[in-house]
Structure 1
Amino acid sequence: MRILLIRDKRAGHRNQVEAIAAIAANETDVAIDRIDIRRWRVVGGNLRHRVFRTFADDRGRLLNILFGIRLTAAERPDLVIASGRATFIAGSLIARQFGTKLLHSGFLSGFDPEYFDLMLVQSPRFAHEPKSVFTPLPCAVDPEQLPRPRELSRIEDLRSASIGLLLGGNASEYRFAASDWRGLVELVRATKQDFGLRWRVSTSRRTPRWASQQFRSLVQEGVIEQLVDYRSAGPGSAADLFKSDAIAVTEDSRSMTAEAMAARRPVVVLRPQRVRPSRATEEMAVMACSRAVAVLPIGSVEAELFATTLLSLKPDDRDPRDAIAAAIRPLLRTVA
């Protein structure tokens, strides 16, 4: 089976399509091709959506105009996998041009079901939409490749326990004030002092430079053991943090939260003060229903609350890849 991955610049989207391809590879023999969409050509914003819906039958021309993509019959995929609105549009045009299948990760509104073959959704509210299946958010973390974490059930267990902190930043539904970043810095400092936690921190492309510098200062103070700066280390640089005994993550990133859960670690999600309710926050609420996850507001969380919350969490031993494999297996059978 020849699979074509359509990827944009967002690490979360890229990780999802790569994860689905890896799951498919465990089900059948595959050859994987990739197209990276760096930017839109000619049109942008809502206009590109309207252009797609109006001229979707002129597939080859639209692929070239919108994305600069030209494919020949020799490059025909059996299955196209996408995640994100831009990649959905490109993937749908390619799939319809060659009469192949499109699998999309994440719910998208406003598209007729004729434009795709399977949509993996992360909220049960959309589980019964046409051609949709409710699954965990796909991620590339393989829990079998990680060391077993220390069991955290008593205060004494926290002494020298390693905690990975995955930092995001401003997103559509989330806005971090300076007070949020200061609160995170003080939380790390206080839990190190009061409970002996060993912190390892990773920034992302959305983390402000000045906030990254605050955490760099904590390295110099000896408060945190490691800082992985995304700007210098690049995508995938935080992978080593999933070996920690527990993971804290800012709420703006569902992908990082899904990865932390897949690593079979206790997960504390840290919420900034300004949050706009949306589908993203709804999907985060679904994740928070797990006994492995708790959500704490940055503005009011103190060291003791963080510690007691951490001790109350029970990692989930289930592998999310099993549910995703079950969801995509019928589609794979139609193209194998």
Structure 2
Amino acid sequence: MVSERKRVWLLSDGQPGHDSRSQGIVHALAEVMPLDVQVVELKMRMGLARNALRYLLNHTHGPLPPGLLKLFYRMNSLPEGQCDLIVSAGGKTSFANAWLARRSGAKNIFAGTLRRLQARQFSVVMTLEPVPGANNNLVVPLLPTTIDLKSVAEQGECLRKELAGDGRRYWLMLLGGKGAGYGYRQRDWMYIARIMNRLADRHGIRWLLATSRRTGAVGEQMLRRYINTDCLARACWSESGEKFQAQACLGASDQVFVTEDSMTMLTEAMSAQRPVYSLRPEHALPDNRYEQALLNYVDAGRLCRLSLAELVERPELFDERRYRPEHLPDSQLGKDLVCRLGWSVN
């Protein structure tokens, strides 16, 4: 173990997917070294600020005025004292990450796509695909998440005992909504409900269901209307403010279905080492980077992609083929990061 406790600032833009990646990085590091983590919440004031921030950072090398950063971000006060490491995920945090690292002299890790921001701004750039010419690029098979396999197993077993009554198996349906180039009409939500009904009847299972804020009121209304209540073991409706117990539901499930728009939910399901199936609506136009990431998961045997329109007509297309991702232990990821940062591990 590293004897010296490192002070870490985790930059949060409030988006659950980005926070999950950042916290996953911190969790991996914490497996091999002691950390003192403090969260710095921030929001970019306007989208156009990205161009100005990118230009300033790419065309300068020294520290930039700390007060100037607040022209671009609404942010809480920085923790007192210096930090050793800054961690963030999501494009809008990348500029603040680089800016604050220059100011403090701290090392920094960014997880995500650079979008024309130079890689030299970071000590480590963590991505799914190689960044050309970046020696500080750590390519990972899955971006880190807060999913912990031990907790998944323990919480899943508790949930199974709580739900047990008829001895049936449980499958999990995770629903996002409009975003990442995907659009959902009322017909798509009706398709999802019918698929759940038919697969439950065909395979003798019951469903665990979780919606998200992007599912929206209309989507939830359609699902409530068309899903047969006897095939639903538990539902977490976002519009009702219910908290989704991700690790418990993942642990209790034999199969996981995820709408293809949510890379965060897909990654968490794959990190839990469950067979994962993505559901694609009729209107699906992801950008090349997103599409390539999905194709890579398919090629690696981590993911099976399914069309809603095809599956609702032919439920036999689903044959319970099992796709299990290769898990990179947190301890190994933490050691890789420590090595990249130039720190020593005893």
Cα distance in 2, alignment partners of residues 94 and 32 from structure 1: 16
Cα distance per residue 1:190-219 (max 9 Å; x no partner): 111222121010011211212112333456
User: How far off its partner does 1:128 sit?
Assistant: 5.7
SS at structure 1 position matched to 2:31:
helix
Partner of residue 189, structure 2? 181
CA offsets per residue over residues 64-116 of structure 1, 9 Å max, x none?
21124476684321100010111111111111111111101112221122311
1:260 aligns with 2:269: yes
Q: Deviations over 1:174-233 (max 9, x none)?
A: 222322211111100111122212101001121121211233345673231111122444
1:118 to 105, 121, 124: 124
Moved more, 221-230 or 25-34: 221-230
- Cα distance, 1:317 vs. partner? 5.4
Cα distance in 2 between the residues matched to 1:242 and 1:232: 21
Letter in 1 for 2:8: I
Q: Indicate whether 1:170 and 2:178 are aligned.
A: yes
Indicate if the aligned counterparts of 1:170 and 1:206 stay in contact, CA closer than 8 A.
Answer: yes
| Partner of residue 53, structure 2 | 52
Establish whether residue 214 from structure 1 lines up as the match of residue 219 from structure 2. no
Q: Which amino acid aligns with 2:99?
A: L
- Does the C-alpha gap of structure 1 residues 218 and 322 become closer, same or farther in structure 2, counting only changes over 3 Å? farther
User: Which one of the candidate residues 2, 10, 34 is aligned to 1:5?
Assistant: 10
C-alpha separation in 2, matches of 1:72 and 1:264: 37
Distance 1:326-1:280 versus aligned 2 partners, 3 A rule: farther
1:304 equivalent to 2:309? Answer: no
Contact 2:86 2:107 in 1 (8 A): yes
In structure 2, distance between residues paired with 1:87 and 1:257: 22
In structure 1, how many angstroms separate the alpha carbons of the residues matched to 2:132 and 2:308? 32
- Percent of aligned pairs sharing the same letter: 22
Worse-matched range after superposition: 313-322 or 193-202: 313-322
SS of residue matched to 2:113: coil
CA contact (8 A) 1:107 1:122 kept: no
Match of 2:164 in 1: none
- When residues 252 and 303 of structure 1 are mapped into structure 2, their CA distance, relative to the original with a 3 A threshold, is same
For residues 1-336 of structure 1, what are the structure 2 equivalents within 5 Å? 1-37=6-42, 39-41=43-45, 44-45=46-47, 47-56=48-57, 58-69=64-75, 74-123=80-129, 125-126=130-131, 129-135=134-140, 136-147=142-153, 160-217=168-225, 221-233=229-241, 237-243=245-251, 244-276=253-285, 277-301=287-311, 302-306=314-318, 308=319, 310=320, 312-316=321-325, 318-319=327-328, 321=330, 324-334=333-343
Distance 1:200 1:137 in 2: 25
CA contact (8 A) 1:63 1:70 kept: no
What is the letter of the counterpart of residue 7 of structure 1? Answer: S
Whole-angstrom distance in 2 between the partners of 1:331 and 1:79: 12
Closer/same/farther in 2, CA of residues 191 and 7 from structure 1, 3 Å limit: same
**SS in structure 2 opposite 1:169?**
coil
Distance (Å, rounded) in 1 between the aligned partners of 2:139 and 2:326 = 19
Residue 162 of structure 2 corresponds to: none
**Could you say if the C-alpha distance between residues 335 and 94 of structure 1 is closer, same or farther in structure 2, counting changes exceeding 3 Å?**
farther
186-195 vs 66-75, which moves further: 66-75
Q: Partners of 1:282 and 1:60 in 2: how far apart?
A: 38
Q: Distance in 2 between matches of 1:225 and 1:29?
A: 41
CA RMSD of aligned residues (A): 2.6
Distance 2:179 2:217 in 1: 16
Q: For this pair of structures, how many residues does the alignment match?
A: 320
Paired with 1:19 and 1:231, the residues of 2 have a C-alpha distance of 27
Aligned-partner SS, 2:52 = helix
CA contact (8 A) 2:31 2:331 kept: no
Q: TM-score when scaled to structure 2?
A: 0.84
* Shift in CA distance, 261/72, structure 1 to aligned 2, threshold 3 Å: closer
For structure 1, list consecutive stretches of 5 or more residues without a partner in the other structure.
151-158
Q: Which amino acid aligns with 2:340?
A: L
Q: Deviations over 1:313-335 (max 9, x none)?
A: 14245345355334312134438
Aligned partner of residue 334 in structure 1, secondary structure: coil
SS at match of 1:222: helix
Structure 2: runs of 5 or more not aligned: 1-5, 58-62, 158-166
Q: Partners in 1 of 2:120 and 2:126 — Cα distance?
A: 16
* Paired residue type of 2:16: A
Q: If the length of structure 1 is used for normalisation, what is the TM-score?
A: 0.86
Judge conservation of contact 1:16–1:83 (CA < 8 Å) in 2: yes
The answer as to whether partners of 2:194 and 2:227 remain within 8 angstroms in 1 is no
